[in-house]
Amino acid sequence: MKAYVFPGQGAQFSGMGADLYEKYPIARELFDKADEILGFSISKIMFTGSDEELKQTKVTQPAVFLHSVILAKVLGDSFRPDMVAGHSLGEFSALVAAGAMSFEDGLKLVSARAMAMQKACEAVPSTMAAVLNLTDEAVEKICEETEGVVVAANYNCPGQLVISGEIPAVDAACEAAKAAGARRALRLPVGGAFHSPLMEPAREELAAAIANTPFSTPVCPVYQNVSTHGETDPEVIKNNLIAQLTAPVKWTQSVRNMVADGASEFVEVGPGKVLQGLVKKIASDVTAASAVVE
For 10-19, the pLDDT digits (tens) are 889 999 999 9
State yes or no: pLDDT of 7 exceeds 80.
yes
For 81-92, the pLDDT digits (tens) are 999 999 999 999
Question: 3.50.50.60, 3.30.70.250, 3.30.70.260, 3.90.1170.50: which CATH number matches 125-187?
Answer: 3.30.70.250
Say if residues 164 and 195 touch (Cβ distance below 8 Å): yes
Residues 6+ apart with CB under 8 A from 141: none
The amino acid sitting at 31 is F
Residue 59 backbone dihedrals phi, psi, to 5 degrees: -95, -45
Residues 6+ apart with CB under 8 A from 52: none
What is d(CA 244, CA 164) in angstroms, rounded to the nearest whole number?
Answer: 14
| Segments of the chain assigned to CATH 3.30.70.250 | 125-187
Q: What's the pLDDT score for residue 54?
A: 87
> What DSSP state is assigned to residue 179?
H
Pairing, β 83-86 against β 2-6: parallel
> What DSSP state is assigned to residue 216?
-
The residue among 71, 94, 93, 81 whose CA lies nearest residue 24 is 71
The residue among 64, 130, 55, 125 whose CA lies nearest residue 91 is 64
The residues assigned a catalytic role are 88, 195
| Segments of the chain assigned to CATH 3.40.366.10 | 2-122+197-290
Outline where 103-191 has alpha helix (H). 103-123, 136-145, 167-179
Which CATH architecture fits 2-122+197-290? 3-Layer(aba) Sandwich (3.40)
Q: How many CA atoms lie within 13 A of 158 on its CB side?
A: 6
For 104-136, the pLDDT digits (tens) are 999 999 999 999 998 998 888 999 999 999 999
How much of the chain exceeds pLDDT 90, in percent? 91
DSSP 231-271: E--HHHHHHHHHHHTTS-B-HHHHHHHHHHTT--EEEE-SS
Residues 6+ apart with CB under 8 A from 228: 250, 253, 254, 257
| Full-model pTM | 0.95
Q: Residue 192, SS3?
A: coil
Mean pLDDT over the full length of the chain: 95
State yes or no: pLDDT of 3 exceeds 80.
yes
Q: What is the helix (H) or strand (E) element at residue 132, kind and residue range?
A: strand 126-132
CA dihedral 266, 129, 149, 116 (to 10 degrees): -60
Q: What's the pLDDT score for residue 285?
A: 94
State yes or no: pLDDT of 9 exceeds 90.
no
Q: What's the pLDDT score for residue 71?
A: 97
The amino acid sitting at 73 is K
How much of the chain exceeds pLDDT 70, in percent? 100
For 192-243, the pLDDT digits (tens) are 899 999 999 999 999 999 999 999 999 999 999 999 999 999 999 999 999 9
